[in-house]
Structure 1
Amino acid sequence: MAAIPTSTHKDTQENVSSSNAFCRFFCTFMSILSLIILAIEFFNYLGDAYISRGMYTCNHTCNLPNFKVGSEGSLNSLTISNTQLTAEFNITVSVDNPTQYSRVYYDAVSAEIFYGGESLVLTKSSLLSFTTHEKSVIHMTLSVNKPSDFGGAATSIAQSRKDGRVEFGLILSSLIKYKNSMSHSGWESLKVVCNPLKFGVSPNDFNTNTTNPGILLEGVTCTST
């Protein structure tokens, strides 16, 4: 009759060792996995904290992007005929992002030229969306064509140009959000007012054409809300 194999003490020790090795491996694996998950959660928390800080400061106007109109702007083809007003503005705006840890995204961007008060808008144009990491530059050409004495603007501008200077204002409107590699904010509305834009023009010229444009006398630091 054949003998039936039985487990030995050595076999038992090997089984126990294998089981212990598996347990150590499994425990080590789970520990590493837990650390990875905790690290991800920690970095997500930091990202949210940075964004929250950025949005807090923006709501308090201390961390909003900085806008400035460059002095190289010009006023072309300013024509006042009876009560009709036409003009073309070439304006350059620089945008600085003080939030170094996040990029700023701009969407639904528009520009308006106004005269006197902000309610007297002479023209409004849409601009391309853009993103600012440190600094962006916007070049825009805005045309005005008012067939009537819109709010008395044509008459008032005709009087002002006799002194060799006319003043307008610029409004930029946009939706903005902040984003970094970890998180991002929601969209918020932004309004930027650049006023006054002082253009020097010849008081003797009835029309200021492209060969003799009005010159922006100085740059303007804009206000953001």
Structure 2
Amino acid sequence: MRLKVLTELVLNDNPPLGGSLPFWLGNFSANLERIHLGFCSFSGGIPESLLYLKSLKYLDLENNLLSGNLVDFQQPLVFLNLASNQFTGTLPCFAASVQSLTVLNLSNNSIVGGLPACIASFQALTHLNLSRNHLKYRIYSRLVFSEKLVVLDLSNNDLSGPIPSKIAETTEKLGLVFLDLSHNQFSGEIPLKITELKSLQALFLSHNLLSGEIPSRIGNLTYLQVIDLSHNSLS
């Protein structure tokens, strides 16, 4: 098959579609920018041809049966959604996408290891969802995400240690809107820097090992709509 001018392939929400992703998927069009194959029944790994497809910008393979070690892509992606599969291994740095990636969703897989510091180096990232994996260890204390990040979900892992004192940059008009660190093993106090995230609308820190006083300055988060600090040892 060779559809030389094809730029977008949309086959999502077709559960009968299954088996291995064909190798030719990354070969039949040098102009293919968008692939949407979510909510099907594909299994096995991601074909190597997709990892090197230079034109590829958007890849959505959510909710399939894909497996194997998570591997790095060699092209500058803008959107990558591999959520709700069976991927294992550690988290790659996606070095080729440092300046381009805006959405990274790897939730509900079996990714292990720690959160690499390189994950905060994305310059355009707005949405990062690594929830429901097997991430563990402490988060690097100097890890700081860009003010462009609006959604950060690390919930339902086994991350431990203190919450980084400054987890994201913020400005008057930019900054985190949604922060979910719930269902981990974070300990220590709630960092005061969280109260400086002026755009924050939802804050979830429940089911951790947090202690100390709840910062009164949380009351200054004028856009905050939902806050859940339950199941800790806060006072």
Instruction: Judging by fraction of residues, say which structure has more strand.
Output: 1
Which protein is bigger by CA-based radius of gyration? Answer: 1
Q: Which has the higher contact order (CA 8 A, sep 6+)?
A: 1
Same fold (TM over 0.5): no
Q: TM-score normalized by structure 2?
A: 0.16
Q: Normalising by structure 1, what TM-score?
A: 0.17
